[in-house]
Structure 1
């Protein structure tokens, strides 16, 4: 009987995993250099955690089930809710800001298509507490730093602030329900629907013009200075514009200036309260967005103290797709890989002792214990990017030496094991 992988999932082979580990570890290195520490949450949680955050409709999009005790559980569709639950359970009294990151798989029951899978991976960061302006600037600069270190090219960073458009809608006393619908239409760039919703809310042409002026900002920090005059009588919007200007100044101080101010970014989620940003890789076409985030207040959903958080999550699989589309490659440390070959089966135990000595010195070591011919072992080394072969025969055993062959140059030399270790270590 033949079994196939479930629909919407993937198998990753050796080269796939080497690439994914390289990208993951590169991002880890960047965020840890910024002072973030790793957390881990369960793959499944109480179903109510996700319905509280996203509404009952989320049930249609996720894997949920009852366990043997009759408890309603769900495989996590994302990690933000789990992080907020972790904070509420364990960290409310911890000193702020809390700077954390996470990496793990998530699950969505949706139709598999290009760039979308039922099991996928997120690499996210959260800052809980602290000063939003500086938190926002730091994570935007950090996201740019991570993508740059991975080698992703031609990506675009768009930054906005939901408080600007929400300020106008609050000024007009539009209901929370209608604000949600209006924000969703902006997020979908459905401007025909937007105009219809504004008409339904009896928004005058004067304020329609202000709203259109806001969502059409797609340029530089200087455009925000021009926008100030349009919203100077709307205190909430004016303050949001000033906050965004201040955040962008700090972003530039971090050394990142290649961003676009885009005030039509809405993120489509009610809990965002301020800065929002997204990163696009146009090479990915319709699935070009590889991350999104901002400042939000999610902890209040779980009956805890109100505290602002700032965060984002990389769509790790989309980063990998961009990595492949752009034909990127990493430099593997093949110079430090060795294959130990006993020339005859009589020398297998000697080869094992040599291999263990190499491994104890942090040298990646494979060993032939099957007894293949030397020619096949050399071919194996070439095919697996192993740059060095150590051969153990009668002479080597008697003289306490090894024969080291450089697979790139073809040169070989019989030397002491200590000398071989020193050479391979450098």
Structure 2
């Protein structure tokens, strides 16, 4: 029999420090979201495949892990949390007044390309604000994103903000077939400078070609907005970003905010402000979100929305979390288990454990093997601390 004892592709075991990192991040985020008025929801780990097809999910169908149920219907392991929450808001929560502030702490499952080393299990903790639009809602979401990464213990991070309307305005002015616009979008999103430059060469006579050619480079501080205005002229999305940044600075959040006008991913899904969070030590964004005003309405309830998700393990990997070291093994005589547990509960978590050994000498050997510093012996005569 050929039995495989390794984990399936895209999954792995997490031990000790990685577990502590995940729990620390989750605890910090959940505490923050609750304090900011968000209520938890939990959606099924398995959803109907048709839910994501109907919603126009930007996730390629080949990335979804599929299951066939007993009736033959195609199911998927939850590849995304926002779509199920949109369904939930339009059905189970439809009688509750808007806006609704919801948070989740769940795993999403996605199948990456073979042998690329990506994870199929992604622990996410995030928020969705449903039924709120305008400047105040976008401000709340971006400040919450900043505070989320601060609460996790990150110091070297920033949030890059863009607006899908800027690209849409430029692209709509171009005399270019729709399929070519989509190719251009992918080149801009991937910051594929050389190929984009060659691609736009046949369109160089059009007035907005220079702005589109420059778009992947438009990231950085507030000066990016000025350069964009010089290239593209009057633009309502740039006006909105300038006002948004002014409010963020007045609230004390300006130091964590930058801009990336080349954020044009999932252009049919997002409808306004989009943003990503980057942290020192992470090779990819640790936070991603934005405004998506059309999704909930697909399920029968009009509710503009915005939100973001934090990649819990990516954030945890940027932290320095130490696993507590075993210092004390407690040896207790018959009838003294209660006393042993009382002592154990007074000591720092993870630094002590009970001995299963019958004799003190066996406990001393065990403590030595495990690298403990001392043994606490509890017997009828009292307590004795013995150095290992």
Q: TM-score range by the shorter chain?
A: 0.7 to 0.9
Q: Which residue of 1 aligns with 2:18?
A: 16
The gaps in structure 2 that reach 5 residues or longer are: none
Pair 1:291 & 2:293 matched: no
Identify the match of residue 252 of structure 2 among 239, 247, 255: 255
Between 182-191 and 374-383, the greater mean CA deviation after superposition: 374-383
SS in 2 for 1:273: coil
Q: Is the 8 A contact 1:186 1:194 kept in 2?
A: yes
Query: How many residues are aligned here?
Result: 382
1:315 aligned partner: 311
Flag the structure with higher helix content.
1
Identify if the C-alpha distance between structure 1 residues 24 and 55 changes in structure 2 by more than 3 Å, giving closer, same or farther: closer
Q: Does 1:187 align with 2:183?
A: no
C-alpha distance in 2, partners of 1:148/1:374? 48
Change (3 A) 1:79 1:9: same
Residue matched to 1:306? 302
C-alpha contact 2:344 2:353 (8 A) present in aligned 1:
no
Which among 355, 363, 381 is matched to residue 395 of structure 1?
381
2:266 match: 268
Shift of 1:291: 1.9
| 1:8 to 1:173, Cα distance in 2 relative to 1, 3 A | same
Q: Say which of 323, 331, 337 aligns to 1:341.
A: 331
CA distance 1:283–1:375, shift in 2 (3 Å): same
Q: Deviations over 1:303-342 (max 9, x none)?
A: 423322111112223223333xxxx12586x89x975421
Q: CA deviation at 1:359?
A: 7.8
- Residue 316 of structure 2 is aligned to residue 329 of structure 1: no
Q: CA deviation at 1:47?
A: 0.4
From 154, 170, 184, give the equivalent of 1:168: 170
Task: Write the deviation string for residues 24-54 of structure 1: whole angstroms up to 9, x where unpaired.
Answer: 2122223333222221111110001222345
1:7-406 pair list within 5 angstroms: 7-54=9-56, 58-111=60-113, 116-171=118-173, 179-191=181-193, 194=196, 204-212=205-213, 214-225=215-226, 227-228=228-229, 231-233=232-234, 238-256=235-253, 257-281=255-279, 283-284=281-282, 287-300=283-296, 302-323=298-319, 328-329=320-321, 340-342=330-332, 347-351=333-337, 353-355=338-340, 357=342, 366-373=353-360, 376=363, 380=367, 383=370, 390-396=376-382, 403=383, 405=385
Distance, in Å, in 2 between the alignment partners of 1:331 and 1:86 is 39
Q: Which moved more, 1:180-189 or 1:190-199?
A: 190-199
| Superposed displacement of residue 116, structure 1 | 1.2
Q: Extract unaligned runs of 5+ from structure 1.
A: 397-402, 411-426
Name the structure 2 match of 1:423. Answer: none
Q: Distance in 1 between matches of 2:83 and 2:368?
A: 47
Residue deviations 1:260-297 (CA, integer Å, cap 9, x gap):
2221111234111111111223534xx42222211112
- Give the Cα–Cα distance (whole angstroms) in 2 for the partners of residues 369 and 19 of structure 1: 29
Question: Highest relative contact order (Cα 8 Å, sep 6+), 1 or 2?
Answer: 2
8 A Cα contact 1:160 1:264, kept in partner? yes
- Structure 1 contact 84–298 (Cα < 8 Å) conserved: no
Q: 1:340 to 1:278 in 2, by over 3 A?
A: same
Superposition RMSD on alpha carbons, in Å?
3.6
Cα drift, residue 176 of structure 1: 6.2
User: 2:58 & 2:296 partners in 1: Cα distance?
Assistant: 18
Instruction: Give the TM-score normalised by structure 2.
Output: 0.82
